[in-house]
Amino acid sequence: MDSIFYITIFFVFAAALVSFIVQRWALDRCLKHFSNFNVSIEEDGRDPTWGELNVYPGGIEILYSEARNDDTGNTETSYIIFEGQMDKVSAIERYHEELDEEDKARRLKDVNSLKKRGFFKKLSRMVRNLSNAFKDAISQSMGLIVAQTRGKASSSMAKSQDAGIKKIGDETLTAVGNRFEPILERYIGSKVIVESQNGEEVARHEGILKEYSSNWIELLECTEKHETYFLVSDSERLRLNRDIDFFLKWVPEKKKGRRKIKGAFQCRIQNFGDSPIRICRLEKGDYQHPINLEIEPAEDAEFEVKNLPADIFSGKELPKIEHTMILESPHRGEHEVIAESWLPEVNLIIEAERVLDLCLPRSRAVLRHGGPKA
């Protein structure tokens, strides 16, 4: 009887320990490849959110590069999405042109691991897939093993042991497990086409299938033309962009004789990419200012906006003095990373062809066409 009691205590604590380890380290197989990279999160009914992604077992957190204020003046440093709210996320995007040298090296190492899968990596993936295929059998076998050592124990103690064994089996298999998909498994490392539902529209994404999980599908090297939201006050993101340089200026309101000249936000943009870009508009909430300016490769253009509302500035009032800021890519210039409070908190929407990696939710996305090895 004493041995049965100690066995029961052991499995209770073992179950708690396994549960703790799983909660601490078990991350989604796709999302963890994007962890600690700058990404853009697309959500229903909300402007895209950009920042450094942190992945947790119960959700994700996007760390802003610069603190920002909400409509009531409260300071925000991150945006958190819990697991139960992830159904609103339509895509997680990692743009290649926004990766610094360190991030490019980290990403390349991860991509090369896909192209150069040796025997041990293939074996570990096979073991993982087998563990999923025989998940119930493994869990039941663990119960049978302990049942042989249980002997004559009270029914309540036996039930306690069974619950502990089941929890250990389920938690452990969940940690290493992943829903095994024979079709998806076949196309790992191949070019594929994934269709994703976004409202009433169906988008096609062409890329290399990197990984899949029960909730996500991961694609690499997608080339897509679409609108990107750049928050003007997020100077770090503007500076990181390798294909576009921004020259920003604020000219305050002034009097010229009897006339009052309104304050103006001026912006000059240089296109260092290989394809044209279109400056679509400035937008925040109900405010929208159309621009519709196309810039060819190796060219630049500028625009001026005189009707910016005061409440899109951090101080909720128009700046009183002149400001200028040059945001060149680190590839072309050396500039300090500093937050400029005078920059308007408004989205600059630019349409361009960009190369990116994608995490798409399985609830919206499906692999529709297979292709050759990349």
Where do we find the tokens 């192209």? 115
User: 267 to each of 105, 231, 337, how far by Cα in Å?
Assistant: 32, 14, 19
Q: In whole angstroms, what is the distance from residue 103 CA to residue 94 CA?
A: 11
Where do we find the tokens 């570990």? 124
Sign of CA dihedral 130, 134, 136, 142: negative
Which residues of the chain are modeled with pLDDT < 50? 152-155, 157-158, 173, 175-177
State residue 70's pLDDT score.
75
Sign of CA dihedral 250, 253, 254, 256: positive
State residue 69's pLDDT score.
75
State residue 176's pLDDT score.
46
State residue 314's pLDDT score.
78
State residue 157's pLDDT score.
47
Instruction: Read off the pLDDT of residues 40-72 as tens digits, 9 standing for 90 and up.
Output: 999 998 999 999 999 998 899 999 988 887 777
In 3D space, the residue among 186, 183, 185, 178 whose CA is nearest the CA of residue 213 turns out to be 178
- Ordered by start, the domain boundaries in the chain are 224-356
Q: In whole angstroms, what is the distance from residue 31 CA to residue 233 CA?
A: 27
% residues pLDDT > 70 (the chain): 74
pTM above 0.95, yes or no: no
Nearby residues of 278 by Cβ (< 8 Å), 6 or more positions away: 292, 293, 294, 295, 350, 351, 352
